[in-house]
Amino acid sequence: MSEVLSFVDANLARFRAELYDFLRIPSISAKSEHDGDTRRAAEWLSDALARAGLTSEVIDTPGHPIVLGEWRGAGPDAPTVLIYGHYDVQPPEPLDEWESPPFEPTERDGRVYARGSADDKGQLYMHVKALEAHLQAAGSLPINVVVLAEGEEEVGSVNLVPFVEANAGRLACDSVIISDSNMYAEGMPSVLFSLRGLAYFEIHVKGARSDLHSGQFGGTVANPGNALATIIASLKDADGRITIDGFYDDVLEWDEETRNQIRSLPFDAEEYRKELKVPALSGEKGWTPLEQLWIRPTCDVNGILCGYTGEGAKTVLPNKAMAKVSFRLVPGQSPEKVKTLLEAHLEKVAPPGVTVELVELHGGRPWKAKVEGKLVEAASSALEAAFGTPAVLQGEGGSIPIVVDFEEKLKASALLVGFGLPGCNLHAPNEWFALDAYEKGIGALVRLYGGLG
Amino acid sequence: MSEVLSFVDANLARFRAELYDFLRIPSISAKSEHDGDTRRAAEWLSDALARAGLTSEVIDTPGHPIVLGEWRGAGPDAPTVLIYGHYDVQPPEPLDEWESPPFEPTERDGRVYARGSADDKGQLYMHVKALEAHLQAAGSLPINVVVLAEGEEEVGSVNLVPFVEANAGRLACDSVIISDSNMYAEGMPSVLFSLRGLAYFEIHVKGARSDLHSGQFGGTVANPGNALATIIASLKDADGRITIDGFYDDVLEWDEETRNQIRSLPFDAEEYRKELKVPALSGEKGWTPLEQLWIRPTCDVNGILCGYTGEGAKTVLPNKAMAKVSFRLVPGQSPEKVKTLLEAHLEKVAPPGVTVELVELHGGRPWKAKVEGKLVEAASSALEAAFGTPAVLQGEGGSIPIVVDFEEKLKASALLVGFGLPGCNLHAPNEWFALDAYEKGIGALVRLYGGLG
């Protein structure tokens, strides 16, 4: 192990320079004019895997290609680990808010600023370099490894699950390791104990045959805008509790240990409030902000559109209104069940004089980690050794639906260990990745592979 | 009188042809590329007044010109009547929904289809022709007449009140007659007993410093979209009653006679519901649809905008939300008072964690006619004689704020007698005016002028 770690130390400058080459490729999966760049990033990554010592190929899908790297030299009795990540990035817009160009990695204050630096090229490439260190310095790995990198994570991963299903034999593994999340704080490495799921809907309210004059008809027909507001208002009470019958029935009651773990984490609510510039924090009563973020579900409006929204006073009585409303779900809940409960709720609260339609747009299941066992133990000690401080267990408010799919379809356990930092501007201008986390993180992954062997 | 009416009968074909010339001028006040056309319509109208026998001029304003016709031959002891109308029209869009070109008057089924045919060129020109009949056939009128026609009614009449104030002496009159509304039904002429007023606002709700990720922050901060929905929902109860404290305090309790008058009008609620294609009518409980339209105030959403409203599922927690909300007011109420009450209401219901701002966009006072006295009596008998059926008193759900200004600034009583028909597509494609109403209405106005002498 020590020669592998020495190899890392001796090559950190090169590892950084290579990452910057990766970051210079604008692999924006959402934009077809960048399809060439996206493929170039896949090929670049495949070459990097080959140089690290894996066999690698770029596999076409109906969308952007999948990169598959393999090293099976540990033999059939050794465990197999699948490392998942993505090489595509979010669009960089608005461009004028970037302090340095999004695809020209720029170092400032111990960080590299570039689109994709944290999400996810930087974190994915740490794995590639940790694998290289083992294979180049020790000539082998104590585990078999499959690296699966997709180019459609930022556009919904539509081709990933079919690929995993079709290649379940080749992808068979004991564990799935994903680095596409954050540490709890600077210098505080962490392992995730949960992800929230998602149930995303549009609610459409329809009234009269056409928009009407608010003077000539107002007072006699229901207004879809007022009706939609009534419906949305009915979803939560003044304590921030969701009022859909049965909504909390399946919500996991976390064990005391996890809740103590959450409460033990340093968190300055006033600092958090000030940073968000809100007059007050506001969430479900009786829970701390970290609990509200990680172990409690939400109901949030994502968008509303109704009637005339331009300048001035148009006296229209609109004939339709639409809201996008989504729920973050916690372990125990499912998007299918929430849809059924919401349908029943709408039936109950829809005002007379309008018709209400529910459209499901997107669903993702929540995930709960198996925090006991070799996987998390190995990760914890690797992180502690690399960062010099014990790793903490934390939840994550966002959703990575593919995690549950990996566990189910590959019958493996997932480990989510991330190296981004809070505030690193994911999906926003001036995305950054801490160089210290990049370098220490490679060391942590080297130790993790060793520990799993 | 009989020779005046014979003159009308003998010239109906010409009266119609002249109106069509007027309608061919696309005097769209909202569109600066039509400024030349709008001025051309003013000049055409001024010429028509002169040919009818009045002195007439086109008076410049900071916007579109005002046309002022005068005939003061009845002498200082005779009453003076101011006739108000407008020669500008709404934009005709969407053009592809017109069955014949909007500025090429086309007769079908006893109607003329053209933009401005009902609103208001047709109704205004009826007055011009009735005046001409008196002046050409009898050589005089029993009343002094001022015709005031503006070219900015469809864009807010911004220059009209200042003009009336600056020329109050010249415009001094006993009565103001306005024909810019509808009869109750085909063959049922009417006089208005009221107009509703308007108080139009924007409500802005603001949350965090920027849009946030609904997974990373959802559950800890108030969502301006949910908050705005709660605010809108708080404005009315399930019985359709507005819940703002004090909102109904100033609402006029109409006399039994007016309420009986309203109840005696033929109205088929099921037909009305079917025509509007709503699953059920829905308004303030305890009132009939005509009462809801004419003598009860409303609270209607005119527009809502919040967050992401495009295709698909964007998991944004928006940081702002806006609604346009307006109230139709009834006699007794004022937009200023309603603003004060609404401000207090928002203070009371605004959820924590957001800031709420109220912006007033437009206000117009409601109007109540003096239905006893010579003006309405003369109108009623003139209408009955011309249409062969008694005129009814009716309310109007829309607003014409200038009516109250005329009454106050000129110390005159207003008479609103309209000749459009319900469903005549005001402000919509295929606007039409019934030829029968045009011709009988000229006869009614001839009699009305006679009756006022």
Our separate counts of H helices and E strands in chain B read 12, 18
Query: What average pLDDT does the structure give for chain B?
Result: 96
Instruction: Tell me if A235 and B226 make a contact (CB, 8 A cut-off).
Output: yes
In chain A, what are the domain boundaries? Answer: 2-195+366-452, 197-251+297-363
Instruction: Tell me if B228 and A316 make a contact (CB, 8 A cut-off).
Output: no
CB pairs under 8 A between A and B: 296
Question: Using CA atoms, how far apart are residues A265 and A279, in angstroms rounded to an integer?
Answer: 24
| Number of alpha carbons in the 13 Å side-chain half-sphere of residue A217 | 28
pTM for this model (two decimals): 0.92
Q: Chain A closest CA to B269's CA: distance in Å? A: 10
Q: Which residues of A touch B238 (CB under 8 A)?
A: 351
Instruction: Tell me if B399 and A215 make a contact (CB, 8 A cut-off).
Output: yes
Are B145 and B171 a contacting pair, CB within 8 Å?
no
Q: Which residues of A touch B299 (CB under 8 A)?
A: 226
Instruction: Tell me if B313 and A300 make a contact (CB, 8 A cut-off).
Output: no
Q: Which residue has the tokens 């507005």?
A: B242
Report DSSP letters for B330-363, one per residue. Answer: -TT--HHHHHHHHHHHHHHHPPTTSEEEEEEEEE
Are A446 and A129 a contacting pair, CB within 8 Å?
no
Write down the CATH superfamily of domain A2-195+366-452: Zn peptidases (3.40.630.10)
CATH match of B197-251+297-364 with 3.30.70.360:
yes
Residue B156's pLDDT is what?
A: 85
Whether residue B1 has pLDDT greater than 90? no
In chain B, the residue whose alpha carbon lies closest to the alpha carbon of A349 is: B238
In degrees and rounded to multiples of 5, residue B274 shows phi and psi of: -65, -40
Q: Is it true that the peptide bond before A94 is cis, omega within 30 degrees of 0?
A: yes
In degrees and rounded to multiples of 5, residue B302 shows phi and psi of: -100, -20
Q: How far is CA B317 from CA A89, A294, A327, B74, B306, in A?
A: 21, 16, 11, 70, 10
Residue B22's pLDDT is what?
A: 98
* CA-based end-to-end distance of chain A: 12
Structure tokens at A66: 């999948």
Residue B428's pLDDT is what?
A: 87
Q: A 403-432 residues with CB below 8 A of B?
A: 426-427
Question: Using CA atoms, how far apart are residues A88 and A151, in angstroms rounded to an integer?
Answer: 5
Residue A313's pLDDT is what?
A: 86
Q: Which residues of B touch A320 (CB under 8 A)?
A: none
In chain B, the residue whose alpha carbon lies closest to the alpha carbon of A233 is: B230
Q: Dump pLDDT digits (tens) for A294-331.
A: 999 999 999 999 999 998 888 899 999 999 999 999 99
Q: Dump pLDDT digits (tens) for B139-172.
A: 999 999 999 999 999 988 999 999 999 999 999 9
List the Cα angle A426/A429/A435 in 5-degree steps: 60
Whether residue B209 has pLDDT greater than 90? yes
Q: Dump pLDDT digits (tens) for A388-438.
A: 999 999 999 999 989 999 999 999 999 999 999 998 998 889 999 999 999
Q: Dump pLDDT digits (tens) for B4-36.
A: 999 999 999 999 999 999 999 999 999 999 999
Q: Chain A closest CA to B206's CA: distance in Å? A: 9
Q: Which residues of A touch B360 (CB under 8 A)?
A: none
User: Best interface-test mutation with B: which of A204, A275, A282, A361 has the largest number of B CBs within 10 A?
Assistant: A282
Q: Tell me, yes or no, if A311 comes closer than 8 A to chain B by beta carbon.
A: no
Q: Tell me, yes or no, if B219 comes closer than 8 A to chain A by beta carbon.
A: yes
Question: Using CA atoms, how far apart are residues A328 and A12, in angstroms rounded to an integer?
Answer: 39
Q: Tell me, yes or no, if B12 comes closer than 8 A to chain A by beta carbon.
A: no
| CA torsion angle B241 B247 B251 B253 (round to 10) | 50
Are A335 and B287 a contacting pair, CB within 8 Å?
no
In chain B, the residue whose alpha carbon lies closest to the alpha carbon of A198 is: B215
| Dihedral angle sign, alpha carbons of residues A205, A223, A212, B336 | negative
Query: What average pLDDT does the structure give for chain A?
Result: 96
Q: Chain A closest CA to B397's CA: distance in Å? A: 5
Q: Which of B218, B230, B276 sits opposite A300 (nearest CB)?
A: B218
Question: Using CA atoms, how far apart are residues B430 and B160, in angstroms rounded to an integer?
Answer: 28
Residue A166's pLDDT is what?
A: 97
In degrees and rounded to multiples of 5, residue B397 shows phi and psi of: -75, -25
Structure tokens at A435: 């160089």
Q: Is it true that the peptide bond before A255 is cis, omega within 30 degrees of 0?
A: no
Quote the ipTM score: 0.93
* CA-based end-to-end distance of chain B: 12
In chain B, the residue whose alpha carbon lies closest to the alpha carbon of A278 is: B208
Q: Dump pLDDT digits (tens) for B93-118.
A: 889 999 999 999 999 999 999 999 99
Residue A306's pLDDT is what?
A: 97
Q: Tell me, yes or no, if A358 comes closer than 8 A to chain B by beta carbon.
A: no
Are A124 and A149 a contacting pair, CB within 8 Å?
yes
State the greatest distance between any 2 C-alpha atoms of chain B, in Å, as a whole number.
Answer: 84
Instruction: Tell me if B278 and A207 make a contact (CB, 8 A cut-off).
Output: yes
Q: Which residues of A touch B427 (CB under 8 A)?
A: 213
Are A113 and A430 a contacting pair, CB within 8 Å?
yes
Question: What's the DSSP call for residue A221?
Answer: B
Are A114 and A104 a contacting pair, CB within 8 Å?
yes
Q: Dump pLDDT digits (tens) for B52-73.
A: 999 999 999 999 999 999 999 9
Q: Tell me, yes or no, if B89 comes closer than 8 A to chain A by beta carbon.
A: no
Q: Which residues of A touch B281 (CB under 8 A)?
A: 220-221, 353
Alpha-carbon Rg for chain B, nearest whole angstrom, is 24
Instruction: Tell me if B303 and A209 make a contact (CB, 8 A cut-off).
Output: no
Tell me the pairing of strands B413-416 and B144-150. Answer: unpaired
Instruction: Tell me if B426 and A225 make a contact (CB, 8 A cut-off).
Output: no
Question: Using CA atoms, how far apart are residues B419 and B440, in angstroms rounded to an integer?
Answer: 9
Q: Dump pLDDT digits (tens) for B231-246.
A: 999 999 999 999 999 9
Question: Using CA atoms, how far apart are residues A211 and B302, in angstroms rounded to an integer?
Answer: 10
Q: Which residues of A touch B399 (CB under 8 A)?
A: 215, 315
Question: Using CA atoms, how far apart are residues A283 and A110, in angstroms rounded to an integer?
Answer: 35
Whether residue B39 has pLDDT greater than 90? yes
Q: Tell me, yes or no, if B230 comes closer than 8 A to chain A by beta carbon.
A: yes
Right CATH for B2-195+367-452 from 2.30.30.40, 3.40.20.10, 3.40.630.10, 1.10.8.420:
3.40.630.10
Q: Which of B229, B276, B279 sits opposite A232 (nearest CB)?
A: B229
In chain B, the residue whose alpha carbon lies closest to the alpha carbon of A207 is: B278
Residue B446's pLDDT is what?
A: 98
**CATH fold for the domain made of A197-251+297-363:** Alpha-Beta Plaits (3.30.70)
Q: H or E stretch including A144?
A: strand A144-150
Question: Using CA atoms, how far apart are residues B330 and B242, in angstroms rounded to an integer?
Answer: 13
How much of chain A exceeds pLDDT 70, in percent? 100
Alpha-carbon Rg for chain A, nearest whole angstrom, is 24
In degrees and rounded to multiples of 5, residue A112 shows phi and psi of: -105, 125
Q: Tell me, yes or no, if B399 comes closer than 8 A to chain A by beta carbon.
A: yes
Residue B94's pLDDT is what?
A: 87
Q: Which residues of A touch B307 (CB under 8 A)?
A: 301-304, 324
**Residue B212, beta-bridge partner list:** B317
Structure tokens at A91: 């669009």
Instruction: Tell me if A276 and B221 make a contact (CB, 8 A cut-off).
Output: yes
Whether residue B313 has pLDDT greater than 90? no
Are B87 and B121 a contacting pair, CB within 8 Å?
yes
Q: B 250-309 residues with CB below 8 A of A?
A: 272, 275-284, 289, 292-293, 296-309
Average pLDDT in the B291-303 region? Answer: 98
Instruction: Tell me if A198 and B315 make a contact (CB, 8 A cut-off).
Output: yes
Q: Dump pLDDT digits (tens) for A45-56.
A: 999 999 999 999
